[in-house]
Structure 1
């Protein structure tokens, strides 16, 4: 089992979760973060740190977010690793919690 970053992260990219990850399994795209499923140790430290409530245990993933399991695995193979907290996107608070952002994901 692993943790998964979901749609709520798109256009926010808060990195509070990155700072607490003991194995540096986060990868960064232009407007989204992902977790590498083969590197995640299922510690759960990242989930409560996410201001956008975008991280779920794979077992607790909402049904409408299941596609993000494969998306995290795919993008973690091509995006660079991130291991330190950065500033969120400038308009992150405006996008936080808005539904229907999947088409806004930048690769």
Structure 2
């Protein structure tokens, strides 16, 4: 089992989770973060740190977020590791409550 960043992170990209990760398994893209399933040690310390409530244990993923298992795995191989928190995206507070954000991913058609 691994943890998965879901579409709630899209256009928010809060990085509170990055600071608590003991193994640096987060990767950063232009619109959101992903977790490298090969590096995740299943500790779950990132889950309560996420202001967008975007991180789930793979076994607890809502059905409509299951595609993010593959999205996280694929993009973790492409995007660089992020090992320290940064400011969220400029309009994160506005986007955090928006649902159905997968369409806004730059990679939406590639994954």
Structure 1: give runs of 5+ residues left out of the alignment.
none
Off by >2 Å, runs of 4+ in structure 1: none
Displacement of 1:100 in angstroms is 1.3
Displacement of 1:97 in angstroms is 2.3
Match of 1:80 in 2: 80
Match of 1:105 in 2: 105
Q: 2: distance between equivalents of 1:37 and 1:55?
A: 13
Match of 1:62 in 2: 62
RMSD (CA atoms) = 0.6
Q: 1: distance between equivalents of 2:16 and 2:106?
A: 20
Higher mean Cα deviation, 94-103 or 22-31?
94-103
- Secondary structure (helix, strand or coil) at the match of 2:11 reads coil
Preserved CA contact (<8 Å) 1:8 1:54: yes
Q: 2: distance between equivalents of 1:96 and 1:39?
A: 27
- 1:52-74 Cα offsets, whole Å, 9 max, x none, are 00000001000000000000000
Structure 2: give runs of 5+ residues left out of the alignment.
none
